[in-house]
Amino acid sequence: MAKAAGVPILLLAQLNRQIENREDKTPRLADLRESGAIEQDADIVIFNWRPAFYDPNGIDDNGNSLQNVMIFEIAKNRDGKIGSIFSKHNNDLTQFFDFNTKQFEVPIF
């Protein structure tokens, strides 16, 4: 349908509860409900998640706080690379900012 119409289709899906029982809270393709169909049909699968949701006092490998950090985890990409994209997140305003700028200075869209 997307190819015929020449437009992208965005699908939102729930995760199952297995993620709550794991030590590593990073979402995986297997966490998607009915993941077989989604994984097979999707060209790109991106999870967005906030580490501070699970550990408000969490820090990264360099000792930086994970408060106000949003991670976009590219779990599947048929035409490109997979990996993580970090951004700053203002939870009160639901805005995203470039990770390398001063906190909440320049919004990205």
Please give, one letter per residue, the 3-state secondary structure of the chain.
CHHHHCCCCCCCCCECCHHHHCCCCCCCHHHECCHHHHHHHCCEEEEEECHHHHCCCCECCCCCECCCEEEEEEEEECCCCCEEEEEEEECCCCEEEECCCCCCCCECC
pLDDT at site 81: 92
Does residue 35 fall inside a structural domain?
A: yes
- The total number of structural domains in the chain stands at 1
7-57 pLDDT, tens digit per residue, is: 888 888 888 888 888 888 888 888 887 767 887 888 899 998 888 888 888
Does residue 2 fall inside a structural domain?
A: no
In this predicted structure, the answer to whether residue 104 has a pLDDT above a threshold of 70 is no
Domain that residue 31 falls in:
10-98
Does residue 106 fall inside a structural domain?
A: no
pTM of the full predicted structure? Answer: 0.76
Q: Which residue has the higher pLDDT, 16 or 109?
A: 16
Does residue 87 fall inside a structural domain?
A: yes
50-80 pLDDT, tens digit per residue, is: 888 888 888 877 888 888 888 899 999 998 9
Does residue 34 fall inside a structural domain?
A: yes
In this predicted structure, the answer to whether residue 106 has a pLDDT above a threshold of 50 is no
Q: How far, in Å, are 4, 86, 100 from residue 44 at the CA level?
A: 18, 17, 25
Lowest mean pLDDT among 23-27, 77-81, 86-90, 95-99: 95-99
Q: What is the band of 95 on the pLDDT scale with cuts at 50, 70, 90?
A: confident
